[in-house]
């Protein structure tokens, strides 16, 4: 039991929770809650594209030309353009469908797992996540937060390459949900 508690404590030291603007973070990589077209959109996707400038869109167009966009649950990486981060990982969260809860959970979990693996594969040690799928995609915020925290803790337990991971909440409601789940 003591070993499990020590492991949990060690993982928690690698997780940070903030309320703020993900486009302002100077980390190795920020994650974008993208749409499958990769051409920008609303919410965090639009904010990242606006703040990062044309270089991000140019990289996204190259990816689209090569593979036709990004499927739900998958992730791709681009430059960060004018952002203080070095890279952007774009992941496409699921559009909520209450009749397919388990499938939704699996797809959202894949967003976190695939983004973290892509960061490791590209030797990126600091990563920041927004709240994926909880805006216009309608995923229930509490369910999304539980999935996000579970996937990140599980990944950090198995992989030491990530120095720290930040959950960035734009709104107070998500911030309080994450704080409660993380035990802050």
CA angle, residues 56, 23, 20, in degrees to nearest 5? 160
Question: Strand 87-92 to strand 75-79: parallel, antiparallel, or no bridges (unpaired)?
Answer: antiparallel
The widest CA-to-CA distance across the chain, in whole angstroms, is 51
Task: For residue 157, indicate whether it is catalytic.
Answer: no
What are the beta bridge partners of residue 126?
164
Q: 21, 28, 45, 58: which one is catalytic? A: 45
CA dihedral 27, 160, 92, 174 (to 10 degrees): -70
Q: Residue for token digits 């993380």?
A: 182
Rounded to whole angstroms, what are the CA distances from 38 to 101, 113, 156?
A: 25, 19, 27
- Catalytic residues, by residue number, are 45
């Amino acid at each position: 039991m003591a070993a499990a508690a020590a492991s949990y404590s060690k993982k928690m030291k690698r997780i940070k929770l903030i309320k703020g603007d993900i486009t302002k973070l100077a980390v190795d990589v920020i994650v974008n809650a993208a749409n499958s077209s990769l051409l920008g959109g609303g919410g965090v996707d639009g904010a990242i594209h606006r703040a990062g400038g044309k270089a991000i869109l140019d990289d996204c167009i190259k990816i689209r030309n090569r593979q036709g966009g990004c499927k739900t649950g998958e992730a791709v990486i681009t430059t960060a353009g004018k952002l203080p981060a070095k890279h952007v990982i774009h992941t496409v969260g699921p559009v909520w469908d209450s009749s397919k809860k388990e499938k939704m959970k699996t797809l959202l979990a894949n967003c976190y797992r695939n983004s973290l693996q892509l960061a490791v594969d590209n030797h990126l040690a600091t990563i920041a996540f927004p709240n994926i799928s909880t805006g216009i995609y309608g995923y229930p915020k509490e369910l999304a937060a539980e999935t996000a925290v579970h996937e990140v803790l599980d990944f950090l337990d198995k992989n030491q390459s990530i120095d720290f991971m930040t959950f960035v909440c734009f709104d107070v409601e998500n911030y309080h949900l994450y704080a409660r789940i993380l035990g802050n």
